[in-house]
């Protein structure tokens, strides 16, 4: 890495100081840890979240200088700035509950929808060189399509060039059909243009469920199996790969008396030769995600594999808490690709790019 003709590289001195809001268990954080280009890498300074188990998971695995376990509405950003100094990059996976295609879709009118404003406030206080924001694909359609443009404009107004894109992570070699909007921001006074990393280099990767779930170490953490009832086991015997409780040919005594759920993921088996469907934090009523062959729900470690967490990444809390943490996270190896594109952009390296899809 030659910084002689690159004042930005000289200022960074090999390290991008990272702060995170809504950090979750560390999907984005682990992605940053895995990303390193020409010696330029990220250094975790601080992270915030409101959930105690999530904070313990993040701190124990990523070892930032501080994890602040507090509701963002109670945080004092100025105090964090005084304590830890400037950061170079701010990341935030602001809550998606009100933008998700699953649920009431309240958008900006919901209790979670307006929390993006705290990210805007943080950008105004910390003024990082870069930011990386994440949300669900449903953000595009919230409030009849106005929420997305409203949020993008708010980020721009803080002094950033923004580069949003809908990333379909299964096209980047991730073993899961997970679609997320990622917004990269570069401060206006920095003469850089971010380009979307192409998915072409990843098209020949085997990202099937079968490959992702193979060779899990026997004593790895978070791999306890769920005890299935006899009736659930019997029901699963009739459900083939890719089928659910409503599309399978079940005998009457094993059918579910629920209307309007023909495309539901309830008791849906994975398909062994494809990426999985989207892993969520839910688990009740047959939504645990079910093994393509064995008559059982996936373990949390198997869910973590489909999210591309490394096997040495340990989640803390009850089994239900861990399931929620994994389901709410961003695939680390997916976000790693975006971070590496940003690093290449900063260094001035060429990399394969594609047009944005938003």
Share the mean pLDDT of the chain.
91
List 23, 55, 96, 345, catalytic entry: 96
Dihedral, CA atoms, 144, 91, 309, 271, nearest 10 degrees?
Answer: 10
Q: Which residues pair with 290 in a beta bridge?
A: 269, 297
Within 8 A by CB and 6+ apart from 88, the residues are: 12, 16, 17, 18, 128, 129, 130
DSSP letters along 145-177, please?
GHHHHHHHHHHHHTTEEEEEEEEEGGGGT-SB-
Predicted pLDDT of residue 137: 79
CATH class of 7-203+330-354: alpha beta
Eight-class DSSP state of 102? S
Q: What is the pLDDT along the chain (358 residues), one digit of tens a residue?
A: 556 688 999 999 999 999 999 999 999 999 999 999 999 999 999 999 999 999 999 999 999 999 999 999 999 999 999 999 999 999 998 764 444 444 444 444 444 457 888 999 999 999 999 999 999 777 766 566 778 888 999 999 999 999 999 999 999 999 999 999 999 999 999 999 999 999 999 999 999 999 999 999 999 999 999 899 999 999 999 999 999 999 999 999 999 887 665 557 899 999 999 999 999 988 777 888 999 999 999 999 999 999 999 999 999 999 999 999 999 999 999 999 999 999 999 999 999 999 999 8
Q: Where are the alpha helices (DSSP H) in the chain?
A: 7-12, 27-34, 52-62, 77-84, 116-126, 146-157, 209-212, 230-238, 300-306, 319-328, 332-347
Q: Which residues pair with 186 in a beta bridge?
A: 130, 161
Write the pLDDT tens digit of every residue in 55-111.
999 999 999 999 999 999 999 999 999 999 999 999 998 764 444 444 444 444 444
* Sole residue written with tokens 């943080």: 122
**168 annotated active-site:** no
Predicted pLDDT of residue 136: 78
Integer Cα distance of 351 and 110 in angstroms: 39
Give me Rg for the CA atoms of the chain: 21
Q: How many CB atoms lie within 10 A of CB 234?
A: 15
- For the four alpha carbons of 149, 150, 151 and 155, in that order, the dihedral sign comes to positive
Domain boundaries, the chain: 7-203+330-354
């Amino acid at each position: 890495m030659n910084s002689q003709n690159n004042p930005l590289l000289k200022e960074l001195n090999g390290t991008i100081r990272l702060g995170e809001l809504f950090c979750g268990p560390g999907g984005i954080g682990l992605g940053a840890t895995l990303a390193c280009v020409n010696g330029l890498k990220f250094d975790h300074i601080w992270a915030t979240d409101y959930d105690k188990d999530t904070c313990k998971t993040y701190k124990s695995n990523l070892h930032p200088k501080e994890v602040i376990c507090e509701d963002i509405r109670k945080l004092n950003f100025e105090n964090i700035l005084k304590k830890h100094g400037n950061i170079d990059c701010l990341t935030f996976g602001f809550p998606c509950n009100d933008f998700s295609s699953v649920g009431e879709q309240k958008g900006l009118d919901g209790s979670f929808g307006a929390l993006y404003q705290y990210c805007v406030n943080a950008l105004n206080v910390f003024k990082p060189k870069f930011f990386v924001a994440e949300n669900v694909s449903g953000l595009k359609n919230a409030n009849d399509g106005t929420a997305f443009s409203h949020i993008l404009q708010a980020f721009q107004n803080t002094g950033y060039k923004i580069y949003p894109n809908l990333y379909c992570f299964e096209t980047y070699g991730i073993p899961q059909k997970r679609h997320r909007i990622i917004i990269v921001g570069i401060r206006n006074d920095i003469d850089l243009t971010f380009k979307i990393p192409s998915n072409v280099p990843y098209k020949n990767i085997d990202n099937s469920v079968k490959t992702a779930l193979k060779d899990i170490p026997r004593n790895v953490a978070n791999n306890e199996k769920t005890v299935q009832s006899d009736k659930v086991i019997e029901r699963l015997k009739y459900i083939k790969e890719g089928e659910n409780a409503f599309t399978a040919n079940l005998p009457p005594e094993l059918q579910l008396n629920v209307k309007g759920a023909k495309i539901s993921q309830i008791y849906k088996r994975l398909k062994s030769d494809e990426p999985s469907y989207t892993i969520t934090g839910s688990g009740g009523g047959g939504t645990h995600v079910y093994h393509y062959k064995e008559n059982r729900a996936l373990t949390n470690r198997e869910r973590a594999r489909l999210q591309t967490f490394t096997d040495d990444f340990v989640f803390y809390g009850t089994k239900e808490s861990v399931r929620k943490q994994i389901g709410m996270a961003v695939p680390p190896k997916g976000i790693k690709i975006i971070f590496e594109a940003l690093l290449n952009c900063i260094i001035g390296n060429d990399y394969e790019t594609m047009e944005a899809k938003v």
